[in-house]
């Protein structure tokens, strides 16, 4: 993917931390995605929402409104759902996408803003309910409509259904499998799930020290 600037994690002879349980129930809900190059540069960590001495809490997201973020979180959780291992929400994928859209991936802002709105209208037209309120299986089938281009055509122009759907998949995978220093993969969720040590960076060893850049 052209956005990727970080190589996938590799074992490097270091002792990896105790891996999270890895079973055979990891669900491939929408489509099979091969783990490839991940992550784009800039940003780190989840947004903190705190008040201090009467100060107003900062906005939880840089680009998304809370409504947009809520919808996208539900979509990402369909792509990488939580089961016996962490899902997209656990890994903070929403914060990866939000930060990158405010930086290196800003060119995709229009696709997300218009795509989320078209998808919101799609769910209301078909189900009379927001996507977040639908049963998990119904959410899955609704996303499959996008994947195959079968959602109501009058609600989609540019981006197309498939363009939006595929971009969200790409960025969800990047946020889940990329380096935590880019905003996702909170607490090395995917590395622990796969039993991998943090990739070596010359002069730095964030994983062994427990630090994130």
Q: Does residue 45 belong to any structural domain of this protein? A: no
Q: Does residue 155 belong to any structural domain of this protein? A: yes
102-130 core/surface letters (b: 16 or more CB in 10 A; e: else)? bebbeebeebbbebbebbbebbeebbeee
Cβ-in-10-Å burial (0-12, 13-18, 19+) of 166 comes to middle
pLDDT, the chain, mean: 74
Pairwise CA distance, residues 92 & 174, whole Å? 11
Q: Contact 86/22 with Cβ under 8 angstroms?
A: no
- Confidence bin at 177 (pLDDT 50/70/90): confident
Pairwise CA distance, residues 129 & 185, whole Å? 31
The yes-or-no verdict on residue 16 having pLDDT over 80 is no
Mind listing the pLDDT tens digit for each residue in 111-134?
999 999 999 999 999 999 999 999
The yes-or-no verdict on residue 38 having pLDDT over 60 is no
Q: Contact 74/139 with Cβ under 8 angstroms?
A: yes
Q: Does residue 57 belong to any structural domain of this protein? A: no
pLDDT value, residue 90 = 84
Pairwise CA distance, residues 115 & 157, whole Å? 9
pLDDT value, residue 86 = 80
Number of domains in the chain: 1
Q: Does residue 18 belong to any structural domain of this protein? A: no
90 versus 167: which is more confidently predicted?
Answer: 167
Is the whole-model pTM more than 0.75?
no
Domain encompassing residue 171:
66-194
The 3-state secondary structure of 3-23 reads CCCECCCCCCCCCCCCCCCCC
Q: Does residue 139 belong to any structural domain of this protein? A: yes
Pairwise CA distance, residues 183 & 97, whole Å? 8
- Confidence bin at 184 (pLDDT 50/70/90): confident
What is the arithmetic mean of pLDDT over 184-192? Answer: 71
């Amino acid at each position: 993917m052209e956005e990727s600037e970080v190589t996938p994690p590799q074992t490097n002879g270091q002792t990896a931390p105790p891996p999270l349980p890895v079973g055979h129930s990891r669900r491939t809900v929408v489509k099979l995605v091969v783990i490839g190059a991940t992550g784009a540069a800039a940003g780190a960590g989840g947004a903190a929402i705190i008040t201090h001495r009467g100060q107003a809490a900062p906005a939880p997201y840089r680009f998304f409104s809370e409504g947009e973020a809520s919808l996208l979180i539900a979509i990402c959780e369909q792509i990488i759902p939580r089961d016996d291992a962490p899902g997209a929400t656990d890994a903070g994928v929403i914060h990866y996408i939000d930060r990158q859209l405010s930086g290196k991936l800003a060119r995709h802002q229009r696709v997300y803003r218009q795509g989320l709105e078209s998808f919101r209208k799609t769910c209301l037209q078909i189900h009379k309910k927001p996507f977040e309120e639908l049963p998990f299986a119904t959410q899955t089938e609704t996303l499959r409509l996008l994947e195959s281009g079968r959602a109501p055509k009058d609600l989609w122009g540019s981006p197309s259904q498939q363009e939006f759907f595929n971009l969200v998949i790409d960025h969800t995978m990047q946020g889940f499998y990329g380096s935590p220093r880019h905003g996702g993969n909170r607490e090395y969720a995917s590395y622990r799930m796969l039993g991998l040590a943090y990739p070596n960076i010359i002069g730095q060893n964030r994983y062994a020290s427990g630090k994130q850049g």
